[in-house]
Amino acid sequence: MAARGTGPGEGAGLADRRLIVVTGKGGVGKSALTSVLGHSLAARGRRTLLLEVDPRENLHQLLDVPPSGGEIVPVADRLYLQNLKPQDVVDWVVRKQVKLEMLVKRVLGSPIYHRFVEGAPGLKEMAILGHALRVVRGETPKAPPVDTVILDAPATGHGVYLLTASRLFADTIGHGPFAEMAREVADFVSDPSATGIVVVTLAEEMPVQEALELRGSLEDRFGRGPSLLVANGIYPEVPSDPRGSEEMLRLWSRRRQVNASELERLFSQWAGPKVELPLLPIDRGPRLIRELQARFDAALDGLEGTSP
Amino acid sequence: MTRPLDLSSETHPLLIVVGSGGVGKTTLAASMGIVSAAAGIDTLVMTFDPSLRLKDALGVGHAAEDDEIEVPLPASADGRPPGVLRASLLDAGKTFDRLVARYAPDDGSRERILSNRYYRHMAGHLGGILEYMAVERLYEVAAEGRYQRIILDTPPTSQAIDFLEAPQRIVDFLDSGALKIALRPWFDDGGGLKATSSLGFVGRGLERFLDRIVGMNLLRDMSEFFRAFEPMFGGFRQRAEKVEGLLGSPDTLFSLVTGPGESRIPDTLFFARRLAESGYRLGPILVNRVHPTFDDQGAVESAGEGQGGIDTDDGGALFRWLGESHHRGLGQLRSLMPDGQQVVDLPLEADEPTDLVALRGMGERLQRRLTERP
């Protein structure tokens, strides 16, 4: 199976999606890939919002803008960034339901409500995706029109939970506005034409193991794997006449060998669209994102070439 | 002043290895365990979800999820009789179930809790539960006193700090007003809300309102869970406090594992400060997988702005840059740490350890770095 789509840049069909969830093990470069994908889609004409849920903001550093502070802020043409507090979305649902301002304050201020939000399984996860859904549907009054939301999701274990929690939540509570929202989100996430999942990994044992397990649980629960697999931070091949000390060459060839054998293991079990990105000698920041984007775009266009 | 960590002496019976996901905590914890046991100290390594490679290296499989599995030690060079080394895998859900089974007053309430929908969903996902269960297990094993040293490899959180906050979050949860309210008999025999039925028409309105917002099913599940759990709360809370006390005990030493590079520094500083504020003891900070610099590289050419395209195939330039940038980060971290804080850099090795001998080699190199005079 190769890439879907027909126009340029529609490798892996990502340019058609309304929501793209970027996930993978901790430390593999999810935020960098989120930034790269955002710039890439915006350059292809999609109005794109990057959604970050880590309370300690860091995407803005990669995008060269001030921190979002919870608002939707412009990054570049057609590209926006927001750091979302799930609690704010939950509060919004309550506000919509409870028309009386006095009562709203009492509900939102009560410790029981806060414990409920902490303890209700799947509520926050549902709220994050519910927000993304509202943004792409143009239902948020202050937001600019957006075609695609890219979510920089939590690390793998939590990532699967993020995607499955809404169904769980809808089933647990049955009915009411939260349940309705949860069901809408669950349907949206299960629809392969609406939601794409991008799995990022390093070509090392543990991240590859997690990427394969993640693919397995996605297939179990959604009947489909990721839309795209990105192998990040690949060491270059060792040329036949390399220069450098023996020690350095040994390390280089061993690291490259680990990459090569892990990529082989990964791709022997994954026939879908994939992109490999090199380890680059550039500090983490906007310049790294630009360099990676050039390579990512080329790879995505290459994917297009392979489609029937 | 905290005594420096020496894996071959009997100081520091509890060693907690913390750090963000993907920095190599588990491998380091295992290698420390081997060095410790090889020095004659009976040691248990408690770990979460190690890689297949590490499981193979330690020779522990699924059996270690329920038991502590003995790890055969490679022969010691100095002929000193080795201590016992055991490894166990931790599973938050199972630990929670085991606690319930132990503290439930009778079979009926145990079954009510274990089969409660809210418990089943919550047990694995309540914020910090995995971290809390790790310390809970540590407390349990430490109290039994079967080992001279326990090394706890903490669960892979996105931030190291999540681990420290877990016990307090559980205590807060148990202390919260929500709990007291949840413990009231909310529902009458007909499944309606008791408090509201006495309010007549108004009460039914309130019930409809609550139902509309969150759904009565969830409230019923939560209420049932808390009621079934009630007899255990006292013991649970006491334990959470003792567990917290254990973390702060002079016997307990934290070792923070981090990756190289400047982007890791804020996390590391934050964690070190939080430990100090909580009165916990931070042992060595281990900066893992630092790219070495090589002597014959000559001047480092910066791949900075202004240079043309980047040649991604130029491994020499890449390795120079990696070595330089990792050591720059290391230097910065050292300069930002208070005097006396041990910061040990561990080089990226050509091969990942795949057996006990390699793990032991790694542990011995670490031990030398820990005990060398500055």
Q: What is the DSSP letter of A225?
A: -
Per-range mean pLDDT, top range of A55-59, A60-64, A101-105, B212-216: A60-64
- Which residues in chain B (334-373) have CB-CB distances under 8 A to chain A? 348, 350-352
CA distance to partner chain A, nearest, from residue B3 (Å): 32
**pLDDT for residue A9:** 42
Inspect the interface and report whether the beta carbons of A245 and B221 lie closer than 8 Å.
no
Nearest to A118 by CA among B182, B57, B288, B283: B182
Which residue from B52, B127, B259 is facing A27, i.e. has the nearest CB? B259
Rounded Cα distance between A33 and A292, Å, is: 8
Report, as an integer, the average pLDDT of A74-90.
Answer: 91
CB A13 within 8 A of CB A227: yes
One DSSP character per residue, B9-34 reads: SS--SEEEEE-BTTSSHHHHHHHHHH
Taking the Cβ of residue B301 and every Cβ of chain A, the question of whether any pair is shorter than 8 Å is answered with no
ipTM of model: 0.83
Contacts of B262 (CB under 8 A, 6+ apart): A283, A284, B325, B328, B329, B332
CA distance to partner chain A, nearest, from residue B145 (Å): 33
CA torsion angle B188 B194 B198 B200 (round to 10): -90
Helix (H, G, I), strand (E, B) or coil at B282: strand
pLDDT tens per residue across span A162-193: 888 888 777 776 667 778 888 999 999 999 99
* Amino acid in the structure at residue A28: V
Rounded Cα distance between A195 and A21, Å, is: 8
Which residue from B122, B215, B350 is facing A250, i.e. has the nearest CB? B350
Residues in A closer than 8 angstroms to B303, CB to CB, are 281-282
Q: What angle do CA A141, A125, B18 make, to 5 degrees?
A: 130
Query: A79-83 and A72-76: which strand pairing?
Result: antiparallel
Per-range mean pLDDT, top range of A11-25, A274-288, B46-60, B271-285: A274-288
One DSSP character per residue, B221-266 reads: HHHHHHHHHHHHHHHHHHHHHHHHHHHHSTTEEEEEEE-SSGGGHH
Which residue from A118, A173, A243 is facing B127, i.e. has the nearest CB? A118
**pLDDT for residue B178:** 55
Residues in A closer than 8 angstroms to B121, CB to CB, are 121-122, 168, 172
**pLDDT for residue B144:** 92
Phi, psi for residue B126 in degrees, rounded to 5:
-60, 135
Inspect the interface and report whether the beta carbons of B319 and A116 lie closer than 8 Å.
no
Which residue from A112, A238, A247 is facing B315, i.e. has the nearest CB? A238
Residues in B closer than 8 angstroms to A291, CB to CB, are 310
Minimum CA–CA partner of A207 in chain B: B22
**pLDDT for residue A94:** 74
Taking the Cβ of residue B288 and every Cβ of chain A, the question of whether any pair is shorter than 8 Å is answered with no
**pLDDT for residue B207:** 61
CA distance to partner chain B, nearest, from residue A223 (Å): 22
Instruction: Flag whether pLDDT at A289 surpasses 60.
Output: yes
Contacts of B74 (CB under 8 A, 6+ apart): B34, B38, B356, B357, B360
Helix (H), strand (E) at residue A257: helix A246-268
One DSSP character per residue, A96-115 reads: HH---HHHHHHHHH-HHHHH
Nearest to B342 by CA among B360, B353, B329, B330: B330
**pLDDT for residue B158:** 59
Inspect the interface and report whether the beta carbons of B315 and A279 lie closer than 8 Å.
no
Half-sphere exposure of B123 (CA within 13 A, CB side): 19
Inspect the interface and report whether the beta carbons of B159 and A245 lie closer than 8 Å.
no
Residues of chain B with pLDDT under 50: 297-307
pLDDT tens per residue across span B272-299: 888 888 889 999 999 999 999 986 544 4
Residues in A closer than 8 angstroms to B316, CB to CB, are 242-244, 248
Minimum CA–CA partner of A291 in chain B: B310
CA distance to partner chain B, nearest, from residue A10 (Å): 25
- CA Rg value for chain A: 21
CB A155 within 8 A of CB A181: no
Inspect the interface and report whether the beta carbons of A281 and B322 lie closer than 8 Å.
yes
Helix (H, G, I), strand (E, B) or coil at A280: coil
**pLDDT for residue B306:** 43
**pLDDT for residue A221:** 84
One DSSP character per residue, B298-355 reads: -SPPP--TT-----TT-HHHHHHHHHHHHHHHHHHHHHHSPTT--EEEEEPPSS---S
Inspect the interface and report whether the beta carbons of B178 and A205 lie closer than 8 Å.
no
Rounded Cα distance between B221 and B212, Å, is: 16
Taking the Cβ of residue B217 and every Cβ of chain A, the question of whether any pair is shorter than 8 Å is answered with yes
Instruction: Flag whether pLDDT at A243 surpasses 70.
Output: yes
Interface test with chain B among A172, A238, A247, A284, by most B beta carbons within 10 Å:
A172
Inspect the interface and report whether the beta carbons of A282 and B310 lie closer than 8 Å.
yes
Taking the Cβ of residue B202 and every Cβ of chain A, the question of whether any pair is shorter than 8 Å is answered with no
**pLDDT for residue A307:** 41
Minimum CA–CA partner of B125 in chain A: A121
Residues in A closer than 8 angstroms to B262, CB to CB, are 283-284
One DSSP character per residue, B123-180 reads: HTTSTTHHHHHHHHHHHHHHHHT--SEEEEEPP-BSSTHHHHHHHHHHHHHHHSHHHH
Inspect the interface and report whether the beta carbons of B215 and A247 lie closer than 8 Å.
no
CB B225 within 8 A of CB B113: yes
For residue B2, give Cα distances in angstroms to A203, B152, B251, B259, B284.
39, 19, 10, 24, 10
Half-sphere exposure of B215 (CA within 13 A, CB side): 20
**pLDDT for residue B214:** 63
Interface test with chain B among A100, A255, A265, A293, by most B beta carbons within 10 Å:
A255
Instruction: Note the pTM of the prediction, 2 decimals.
Output: 0.84
Helix (H, G, I), strand (E, B) or coil at A206: helix
CA distance to partner chain A, nearest, from residue B333 (Å): 17
**pLDDT for residue B109:** 81
Q: A226 or B191, which is more confident? A: A226
CB A131 within 8 A of CB A162: no
**pLDDT for residue A84:** 92
For residue A218, give Cα distances in angstroms to A15, A276, A281.
21, 21, 34
Contacts of B338 (CB under 8 A, 6+ apart): none
CB A201 within 8 A of CB A211: yes
Residues in B closer than 8 angstroms to A25, CB to CB, are 21-22
- Dihedral sign, CA of B116, B117, B123, B126? negative
**pLDDT for residue B49:** 66
CA torsion angle B297 B365 A279 A246 (round to 10): 40
CB B278 within 8 A of CB B248: yes
Task: List A149's β-bridge partners, or say none.
Answer: A19, A49
Phi, psi for residue B258 in degrees, rounded to 5:
-140, 165
Q: How many residue pairs from chains A and B have C-beta atoms closer than 8 A?
A: 159
User: Residue B276 CB: number of other CB atoms within 10 A?
Assistant: 13
Rounded Cα distance between A264 and B295, Å, is: 33
**pLDDT for residue A249:** 92
CA distance to partner chain A, nearest, from residue B295 (Å): 8
Q: Strands of A195-202's sheet, edge to edge?
A: A72-76, A79-83, A48-52, A148-152, A19-23, A195-202, A228-234, A274-278
Inspect the interface and report whether the beta carbons of A176 and B118 lie closer than 8 Å.
no
Q: What is the DSSP letter of A21?
A: E
